[in-house]
Amino acid sequence: MCSPILEVSGLHTHYGASHILHGINFSIKAGECISLMGRNGMGKTTTIRSIFGLTPATRGRIRVLGNDVTTLSPHSIARMGLGLVPEGRQIFPDLSVKENLTMTARPGLDGSWAWTLERVLQTFPPLAARLSNMGNQLSGGEQQILSIARALMTNPQLLVLDEATEGLAPLVRKKIWSVIQQVKETGITTIIVDKDVDTQLKVSDKSIVLVKGRVAFSGDTSELVANPDVHIQHLSV
């Protein structure tokens, strides 16, 4: 049986003296689309930062394709097939769109180039017209698309999207969700964190709900949808 793409066990993370994650456990299989949910401050972004080694775990284990990455540096973890679309986009303002896309382009772990510049530009036509523009000359929606495209250019096994539609106009949000749907259909394993819970539930196969740094629900999204108590108790604003 194949190892899960990502396996998080007993994860504890601190910010200084603040204990944020309290023994989180979950695992993700290849091809799954996971919603990581919870109200503000429940530990979603910290979980992602810990997976990528940006805020290293203080206890517990993180395995990527069966390899323990808990103590690895962020760049080594990313090179194990993880792609990140971070909160706040964080596109590089002093690089052109083309440079943003090509700087970190690399083949997947199997050596294949599923996502090339050509394919990315076909998938995201707005970027094709803006290739020579600098990152800071793009609109918020274009920057978000660029952030997703940039992560795809690393040909990841697992794509993590943290608040990919935050701060965008409704029409642009709709476009970003359609982009996420396209990415999902390519078979890339995805973790989605977003404030738009309803759309998240429509897109994802499985869901994990965090409450105060602990997993309050983990299972099929259909199960979560059928269980309004969890929904109301932990996700309603």
Partner 1 sequence: MDFATFLIQILNGVQYGFTLFLVASGLTLIFGIMGIINLAHGAFYMVGAYLSFWLFGITESLWIAILIGLPIMIVFGYAIERLAISLLYKRDHLYQVLLSYGLILVLNEMQKILWGSDFNSVPVPDALSISIPMGNQEYPVYRLFVSLVCMVIASSMYIIISKTRLGMMIRAGATHREMTQALGINISRIFAIVFSLGAALAGFSGMIDAPLSSVYPGMGDYILIISFVVIVIGGIGSVKGAFVGAMLVGLADTFGKILLPEFSSMVIYALMALILLWRPQGLFGRPT
Residue 106 amino acid letter? R
Amino acid residing at 118? E
The neighbour count for residue 93, using CB atoms within 10 Å, is 12
What are the two backbone dihedrals, phi and then psi, of residue 32, each rounded to the nearest 5 degrees? -80, 150
Number of residues that bind partner 1 (CB under 8 A): 22
Distance from C-alpha of 88 to C-alpha of 76, rounded to nearest angstrom: 23
Query: Is the Cβ of residue 99 or residue 196 nearer to partner 1 in the bound state?
Result: 99
Give the pair of three-digit tokens for residue 62. Answer: 């993180």
126 close to 140: Cβ distance less than 8 angstroms = no
Q: Which is nearer to partner 1, 130 or 234 (CB)?
A: 130
Task: Identify residues 22-51 at the interface with partner 1 (CB under 8 A).
Answer: none
CA dist list (Å): 226 to 177, 220, 223:
23, 10, 5
Reduced DSSP (H G I as helix, E B as strand, rest coil) percent helix, strand, coil of the chain, to 5: 35, 25, 40
Distance of closest approach, residue 79 Cβ to partner 1, in angstroms: 5
Min dist. Cβ of residue 107 to partner 1 (A): 12
Among 3, 14, 27, 95, interactor with partner 1 by CB under 8 A: 95
Q: What letter represents residue 209's amino acid?
A: V
Interacting residue with partner 1 among 16, 17, 94, 170 (CB under 8 A):
94
Interface stretch with partner 1, choices 90-98, 166-174, 207-215, 221-229 (CB under 8 A)? 90-98
Query: Which one among 86, 143, 207, 235 touches partner 1, defined by CB under 8 A?
Result: 86
For partner 1, the binding residues in 48-77 under the rule CB under 8 A are: 52, 54, 73-75
CB of 121 to partner 1, least distance (A): 18
Where in the chain does DSSP place strands (E)? 6-15, 18-28, 33-37, 59-64, 67-68, 82-85, 158-162, 189-193, 206-211, 214-220
Shortest Å distance, C-beta 41 to partner 1: 20
212 in contact with partner 1 (CB under 8 A): no
159 binds partner 1 (CB under 8 A): no
Q: Which is nearer to partner 1, 74 or 126 (CB)?
A: 74
Binding residues for partner 1, rule: CB under 8 A, are 52, 54, 73-75, 78-79, 84, 86, 90, 92-95, 99, 102-104, 106, 150-151, 154
